[in-house]
Structure 1
Amino acid sequence: MGADQIVTVASAIRFQYADDRTFISWATGMNTNPAIWISVFLVAVVILNMIPVKYFGEFEYLVGCIKIVFIVMLILTMFILNVMEHWNTPYGFFNPIHQVKNESGTLDQIITGSTGQFLGVWTACTRAIFAYTGMDMVTITAAESKALADSEAMKMASRKISLRIITLYILCVLTASFLVPTDHPFINGEGQSTGSRSIFIIAVVEAGLPTLAQFFNAMFLFSAATCAADNLYVASRVLHTLALRDQTGPEWITRRLRQCRAGVPMRAVLLSAAVMLIAYLGPTGATGARLNELSSNCTVSFLVVYTTICATYLCFYQSLEEAKQYGNTSQTQAATYDRNHVRYPYKSHAQWLKAGYGMAACIIMLIFNGVDSFMTTPFDVRTFIASYISIPVFLLLIVGYKIRRHGFRFSQWGPERSKDLRNCVQVSSDKRKGRLDLVDPVLSFENVKRLGVWVWVWTK
């Protein structure tokens, strides 16, 4: 995914917007080979990941604050512009026309009516998944967090990230969707650059604010660059963790990937950065074509991961039920497995149902993610490979694991579940973080104080 963000940076800096009334062009970006920008930002991202994690975390906290302020500003700007507009057709949520483009980026066919509308909504959903990927990043950073021992802190972090991202994304899309008509040529592939196809940039340009459009594009560039740094951090820590568990191949490779300097697994960072060199393929082809392929590939990879996470939780849930049913544990340990116990830390509403729904939804999206590749004439091989290559790679990794663990004894190749619950923990207090507990049935100073603390916990 980091390579995709680097390509996004190179695309954002090559910004040009030209219609009958407005002309914007970043000459430096347009007149420079994209490979140079990819090299510059790739080196910057690697250097940033080499600094001690304490300072990297502080930098990311500052960047996160800047992004939240910008998104709030974006929402307010779109809302103000909405007040000045009329919400008639072709403004709205659904586009009854779905355009299918071939490998070169030219229009292959147009699908109209209810089928076109459904395909448009489906394509939007699969592409929106790419924007939501990374919501689980808090689990990667947990190992280097001072609050790791506090299970409540990790749970609160996960909930706050989910609520913030979902709320802000929904408000962004909701406020901007009424400002750009569905038949605008730039969102239908005629923009001169990737940035000119952004509905936020189109909205402010149409409102007569071209300077604000340039600011928006600069912030999008900044966000993509910092996201690339985040993705490299995640990839290197996952690789380092695999090395610690002796799952990265021969010992001479694993031994080097385990090594750290100033708390940073530098060899894991460099090896992960080497994979990001695929970003140099981004500038080839039609405008945004390779970017779409990379984002599609990243989306499928994350859908595979999320499917596995949901399946793993369902197995964990079943192990909890079996431990409670058979009662082969001490009374103290049994409380750790009891979902109704006040100190059980892993509980939320309808978890097994949400896990089953998430797994089914991810599998459906995996199967139909590359539906456009089947509609072009001739068959779009590049889009098909980009949309589905991660699935056979994942299956090959499973086969490799089975061969290494069980050889060719196919009778032992079935699903594996450790049923090991020894690492389950209990929260340290009966009072759960993030809950609003009012002491008085009427308005009082103590209730107001507790309300203020509750708001602060959820917003800080």
Structure 2
Amino acid sequence: MSSFNKEKGEDYFDGSNEKLDVEIGPTPIVEDERAFEEQKDLKRGLQQRHIQMIALAGTIGTGLFLASGRALAAAGPVGAILGYLLTGILVSGVVLSIAELAALVPLTGSYVRYAACFFDPALSFAIGWNHVYAACVAIPAEITAAAVLISFWTTSVSNGVWITVMGLVIIGTNLFFIRVYGELEFGFSILKIMLVVGTIIMGLCIDLGGVPGQPRLGFQYWKNPGPFVQYLGIEGSLGQFLGFWTTFSNAAYSYSGVETIAAAAAETKNPRRNIPKAAKRIFVRVLLFYVLSIFIVTLIVPSNNSFLLKSSGTATQSPFVIAANLAGIQVIPHIINAIVLTSAWSSGNSTMLGASRTLYGLAREGHAPKIFLRTNRFGIPYVSVGFVSVFMTLGYMTLEDAASTVFAWLQDLVAVAAIIAWMVICLVYLRFYYGCKRQGIDRSELPWAAPFQPFAAWMALLGFGLILLTGGYAVFIHGKWNIETFFSHYFNIPLIFLLYFSYKFIKKTKIVSLDEMPIRYYIDIANQNPEPEEVPAKGWRKVNILWS
């Protein structure tokens, strides 16, 4: 047990340069200089306002601004709202789980590292590489979406040019100080929040008849074409239910990356305070930015509109742009398109951050080549950034097919990978939770104990498990078989099992027993290295509801 704990403890850092002498059982463990290698390599440049705003709006991207149109077309207004709301509730359980773990063990790589500590090193290997795979697909999806958005203004330039430019920009912003990333995300988040608030106000004006020459809409589109859609041409309540069920994939893509608040825990100042603070507000953000936005869209865009994510290759597929065009507002689509374009850049940045830090964490655990541990003078794991960047070339598939077709295909791959990651987070947390019980550790001893546990974790685990298994149901309906749909929805399931059992067979790993989990060890480290007291807000900061 002690050797296991020492191995894990060597990767722990807390912002101090003092050596630790922590008692675990009968054997004291004295940390050597390697205990702070991670702190030396990576720089803590993310402040409270950065992590708060990344959590607030970092994952608001093309999933909300573009993919939501696909959900509306498939499920109708009520189906789309219910899909995003229920998925948001499940995601909140995931965020609460990861935040409690990150507050105790703020390691770069987050749940990938926790899987090794509290479940099985084989699971750490499997989910780590699954996360990297998901990022390698997600970033091209964002770049593809950016190409779609830019083509709103010009179709004379090849998509390949915009894919190249956006790729280079994302690489560039991820090779400088982590603080540069934080400042960029802070600015992007402000823009996205302004856009969401602006579109909500615009939507209310359109719906209530505030646009000259336009009638009051009210809930007209809920009545005609109706609250639900007869999906796949199946009549009756079954067709409506199937349409509603398809929204979970779209919603999962929109929420993917929400766990990124813990991915850069090693680069977050006072993570035991700031990460939980961001997590506690996640449900309010889900309601405000996703569900309310989708609700407004359903009032001003009919679900049978021909532009809803059809293969047009332009940003006219965005429901927000469609709404502005239907109301005859000429300048708004350009403003929306410009800010959504920055959101694609922002989402790509967040994904690159999470993937590169996961690769760094995998290398720390011995699950990836040590070359991924190399950092530049800015404290950035540049080799990890470079590896993920290579897969941006997948975005060039849009040159052979319509950009929106490729975007939809990549979206499904990312959604499934995200669901699997969320399930693993809940699984690891539940092992940790019951490990605390077995060892007689009261959760009040933890730096932060998340509310609604273990019920939130169980709810998310079972809910996402059901969504994962039924996500590609349409291919099993007679006459609806599609190999691309089947592959995108189910490829990730055998992949995760292959990675897990292959590593387990080769390395002969064992599941960490509840008695051997190094929970007390990390609690002692946290207690010996308290974070500085929070400075009380002064002046206008007292009323700051965004990142206070």
Q: TM-score range by the shorter chain?
A: 0.7 to 0.9
Equivalence for 1:32: 157
Q: SS at the partner of 2:522?
A: coil
Secondary structure of 1:40's aligned partner: helix
Distance 1:434 1:265 in 2: 32
RMSD: 2.9
Aligned counterpart for 1:6 among listed residues 143, 165, 168: 143
Q: 1:39 to 1:191 in 2, by over 3 A?
A: closer
- Distance in 2 (CA, whole Å) between partners of 1:378 and 1:400 is 34
Shift of 1:116: 1.8
Unaligned runs of 5+ in 2: 1-137, 210-215
User: In structure 1, the residue corresponding to 2:264 is in which secondary structure?
Assistant: helix
Aligned amino acid, residue 257 of structure 1: F
Q: How do residues 30-429 of structure 1 correspond to structure 2 at under 5 angstroms? A: 30-84=155-209, 85-91=216-222, 94-99=227-232, 110-148=233-271, 151-187=272-308, 190=310, 192-248=312-368, 254-261=369-376, 262-286=378-402, 288-324=404-440, 337-339=441-443, 341=444, 344-375=446-477, 377=479, 379-406=481-508, 418-421=516-519, 422-424=521-523, 425=526
> Match for 2:254: what amino acid?
A
Residue pair 1:96, 1:114 contacting (<8 A) in 2 also = no
Taking the aligned partners of 1:273 and 1:190, their CA distance within structure 2 comes to: 29
For the structure 1 residues 354 and 374, does the alpha-carbon distance in structure 2 shift closer, same or farther, using more than 3 Å as the test? same
Does the C-alpha gap of structure 1 residues 118 and 338 become closer, same or farther in structure 2, counting only changes over 3 Å? Answer: same
- Once residues 143 and 219 of structure 2 are traced to their aligned partners in structure 1, the CA distance between those partners, rounded to angstroms, is 38
Q: Quick check: 1:91–1:177 contact (8 Å CA) kept in 2?
A: yes
Shift of 1:157: 2.0
Query: Secondary structure of 1:178's partner?
Result: helix
Alpha-carbon distance change, 200 to 420 in structure 1, aligned in 2, over 3 angstroms:
same
Any stretches of 5+ residues in structure 1 without a counterpart? 16-25, 100-109, 249-253, 325-336, 407-411, 436-448
CA distance in 2, matches of 1:40, 1:128: 28
Q: How far apart in 1 are the matches of 2:529 and 2:363?
A: 32
Cα distance change of structure 1 residues 450 and 45 upon mapping to structure 2, 3 Å threshold: closer
Deviation by residue 1:214-266 (Cα, 9 ceiling, x = unmatched) = 22122212211221122112111110111122110xxxxx2321111120111
Deviations 1:47-71 (A, max 9, x none): 1111121222122212212211221
Q: Return closer, same or farther for 1:309/1:457 CA change in 2, 3 Å cut-off.
A: same
SS at structure 1 position matched to 2:409: helix
- CA 1:350–1:160 in 2, change beyond 3 Å: closer, same or farther? closer
CA shift, 1:309, in A, is 0.5
Deviation, 1:195, is 2.0
User: Displacement of 1:31 after TM fit?
Assistant: 1.7
TM-score (norm. length: structure 2): 0.67
Pair 1:48–1:382, CA change in 2 (3 A): same
Once the 2 structures are TM-superposed, how far is the Cα of residue 121 of structure 1 from its aligned partner? Answer: 1.1
- Partner of 2:258, secondary structure, is coil
Change (3 A) 1:392 1:255: same
d(CA) in 1 for partners of 2:190 and 2:540? 21
Higher relative contact order structure (alpha carbons within 8 Å, sequence separation ≥ 6): 2
Cα deviations by residue, 1:317-357 (Å, 9 ceiling, x for unpaired): 10111111xxxxxxxxxxxx313x3x543323321111001
Instruction: Provide the rounded CA distance (Å) in 2 between the counterparts of 1:278 and 1:366.
Output: 24
Can you list the C-alpha shifts for 1:257-293, whole angstroms capped at 9, x where unaligned?
1111120111110001112222222343345221111
The residue type paired with residue 86 of structure 1 is: L
Indicate conservation of the 8 Å contact 1:136/1:158, yes or no: no
Q: Distance in 2 between matches of 1:338 and 1:459?
A: 30
CA distance in structure 2 between the aligned counterparts of 1:31 and 1:338, rounded to whole angstroms: 64
AA partner of residue 217 (structure 2): H
